Structure 1
């Protein structure tokens, strides 16, 4: 038992020291007040990163930022000036920006494509897509001026690569992010700036839980129940659904030098769901 304990201790020490190069890095996380953004903020802060939470949920974001030794700024990502102010806060506070996580997004209108209201689509695009453009633009400016590169990570979705998982408007916005990330990676690589995506599937965030409440017609559906449903039907890993911590760990990886040769990449976090048919057990039966 002592040997096992020592092995675990040495492994923990190795992992801890491996992430030590994140100490003193500075990050801005849009949509960081709750859900995936909040989990990521806490994980980055725990690895020595100074985190700015940029969100419209002041009552959640401000105390979270204080609890992790970070800063909070009210930020509506559809407004370029708000995103610019969040990035400027990083530079004024710590003199630089190293990590930008463009995470803010909304579900938007559902229904048939034949009934899609263009004003509702425009509102979603203003947040989900234009907000990411604003984030990449102003992060790039700060990182280029700093002269030491950086990491920009954007939230896409499994709905960007597989039809029928979400509304037309949401799928449109998340698909566009993939193209934008690849294009930005081509330009910004010359400045040592890496640009990547994370694409979660079935992670029981507030957005997904709300969607399942509508689908199931039950207002009391909770995150654990959604996670169980996804684990049973939306993953090749039987009984294993996605977790917000999975996404946070992926962002940590893409923000760190562990992914120093990774750019223009879409890291899909789906338990294999979008890569293969999940109901093929008859092939493996004797």
Structure 2
């Protein structure tokens, strides 16, 4: 029997990268999954691929109403909710603090912070209504633990996510609800290439190039991949983590434990070198 047999999960940003890897693993472990995303063609293809185990709901996670509708659709379709994985996101405005504008800052916060706050709110209300408790998992970042990993807006946003998780553990724990965050290091996903202006058709090549560069400074000597995060989410969503609450779990090959210095500079310089080699 799978570790999530009989459980129902909501996963945002579930049609690619970390989210897709988690959907695949959750279904393999017995869960039914409602996927929220804005990439409708990929979402419909995912629903068709998994049949009755997955439903896709167009969800703009910057809007609270859309998150509420996703949770409601999951419950209406599968009868309950056990897990929510607040995973949707992107790099946002990567400007340094001295160049960051109000619009870019607010847009980044809406995508990365509002989505997690309202994912907590609507899942928690459903768990309390059911009287069952439940698991809330959120994608934070190594940038939510240290400075220097990314742009200013992203770093601020991911620190806010870790604050939401700790507050939720305190507020919601008495209801049998646990809230934990996964803090990925450098993970090879389609977002990575897009963030650094690399065309989609060169994404795989860029991922290999960046992974090699990152591997020289990460203790585990490699970059991460979506399945590394999916495995962490599986643990945090399963009954095996019943006594784990308010935890910020780094999944970064040891980087935040031992590496000092600006990871963002390594990534920015590597992307610049790659783009220069392509004549851009």
TM-score (norm 2): 0.87
Contact in 2 for aligned 1:149/1:191 (Cα 8 Å): yes
> Is the counterpart of residue 237 in structure 1 residue 220 in structure 2?
yes
Change (3 A) 1:49 1:160: same
Match among 238, 258, 262 for residue 240 of structure 2 = 258
Unaligned runs of 5+ in 1: 1-16, 280-286
Contact in 2 for aligned 1:213/1:219 (Cα 8 Å): no
User: Match for residue 104 of structure 2?
Assistant: 120
Please give the alpha-carbon distance, in whole angstroms, between the structure 1 residues aligned to 2:194 and 2:110. Answer: 21
Give the SS at the match of 1:52. Answer: strand
Displacement of 1:167 in angstroms is 0.3
User: Match for residue 226 of structure 1?
Assistant: 210
Displacement of 1:64 in angstroms is 1.0
- Count of residues in correspondence between the two structures: 256
Please give the alpha-carbon distance, in whole angstroms, between the structure 1 residues aligned to 2:223 and 2:242. Answer: 28
Contact in 1 for aligned 2:127/2:133 (Cα 8 Å): yes
Contact in 2 for aligned 1:76/1:83 (Cα 8 Å): yes
Displacement of 1:257 in angstroms is 1.0
After TM superposition, the structure 1 stretch with the greater mean CA deviation from structure 2, 138-147 or 107-116, is 107-116
Displacement of 1:221 in angstroms is 4.0
After TM superposition, the structure 1 stretch with the greater mean CA deviation from structure 2, 115-124 or 269-278, is 269-278
Contact in 1 for aligned 2:193/2:203 (Cα 8 Å): no
Q: For 1:187-236, what per-residue CA distance to the aligned partner results, in whole angstroms no more than 9, with x for missing partners?
A: 1111111100001001111222334556xxx8784323322222222x11
Change (3 A) 1:255 1:170: same
Give the SS at the match of 1:115. Answer: coil
TM-score (norm 1): 0.85
Contact in 2 for aligned 1:230/1:242 (Cα 8 Å): no
> Is the counterpart of residue 28 in structure 1 residue 10 in structure 2?
yes
> Is the counterpart of residue 53 in structure 1 residue 25 in structure 2?
no
Please give the alpha-carbon distance, in whole angstroms, between the structure 1 residues aligned to 2:178 and 2:62. Answer: 23
Match among 149, 160, 164 for residue 180 of structure 1 = 164
Please give the alpha-carbon distance, in whole angstroms, between the structure 2 residues aligned to 1:220 and 1:93. Answer: 36
Give the SS at the match of 2:157. Answer: helix
> Is the counterpart of residue 192 in structure 1 residue 176 in structure 2?
yes
User: Match for residue 5 of structure 1?
Assistant: none
Match among 246, 258, 268 for residue 250 of structure 2 = 268
Over aligned residues, Cα RMSD in angstroms? 1.8
Bigger RCO (CA 8 Å, 6+ sep): 2
Contact in 1 for aligned 2:190/2:203 (Cα 8 Å): no
Please give the alpha-carbon distance, in whole angstroms, between the structure 2 residues aligned to 1:188 and 1:124. Answer: 26
Please give the alpha-carbon distance, in whole angstroms, between the structure 2 residues aligned to 1:258 and 1:220. Answer: 35
User: Match for residue 107 of structure 1?
Assistant: 91
User: Match for residue 48 of structure 2?
Assistant: 66
Change (3 A) 1:118 1:231: same
Displacement of 1:274 in angstroms is 1.0
User: Match for residue 137 of structure 1?
Assistant: 121
